[in-house]
Structure 1
Amino acid sequence: MTTAATPVPSLAVLFDNARTAIAAAREADLEVSTIGVSPEDFDLIERSKRFEERIGLPLRILGVVVEPDADVALGSVRL
C-alpha cells in the first residue's frame, strides 16, 4: 500500500508558475496588480523576504504584490 506524499511549498515551482501567468497576462495587455498564493506559499515567501517585511515593504514576486488566498492551491497563483 502506498500513501500520497504531503505537498511541500516550493519557491521554484511558485516563481515559475507566477512568471508564466504574469508573462501571459502582460502579453494580453492585462494589468496585474496582485498575485494570490496559498497561505503556505505566502508563509514561505514571507520567511524568504524577512528584510522587505522588516522595513515595511509589501512582499512582491516579479514586481507584483503577493497576498495570501485560501482558495489558491499550493504552488498555484491567482492574478
Structure 2
Amino acid sequence: MRTTVTIDDDVLLAVKERARRERRTIGDVLSDLARQALTGRHRAAVGPEPDSFFGFEPLPHRGDTVSNELIDRLREDEPE
C-alpha cells in the first residue's frame, strides 16, 4: 500500500543504510521496524552483517571503549 509520511532526516538515512546492507527495500525495512515496535517482537535480520563499511573492515568487538586517553597511552608505550 502506498502512502505519504514525513520522516526525520536521520531516521530516513538510517533506514536507507539498513536497507542497502540487507539488500531490501526501504518500505520493507520500515514495515518490519514498525511491526516490531507495535508488537514488541524482534525478527532476526534477513541478511548477514556487512564485511565492510565504506571500505573499512570493522574490528571484532572487545567490549572496550576507545578514548583519546587510551590512544595516547598506547602511543607512549609503543617502541620507537
Asked if Structure 1 and Structure 2 have the same fold, meaning a TM-score greater than 0.5 normalized by the shorter chain, the answer is no
Q: Larger relative contact order (C-alpha < 8 A, sep ≥ 6)?
A: 1
Point out the structure with the larger helix share.
2
TM-score between the two structures when normalised by the length of structure 1 = 0.28
TM-score, with normalisation over the residues of structure 2?
A: 0.27
Q: Which has the larger radius of gyration?
A: 2
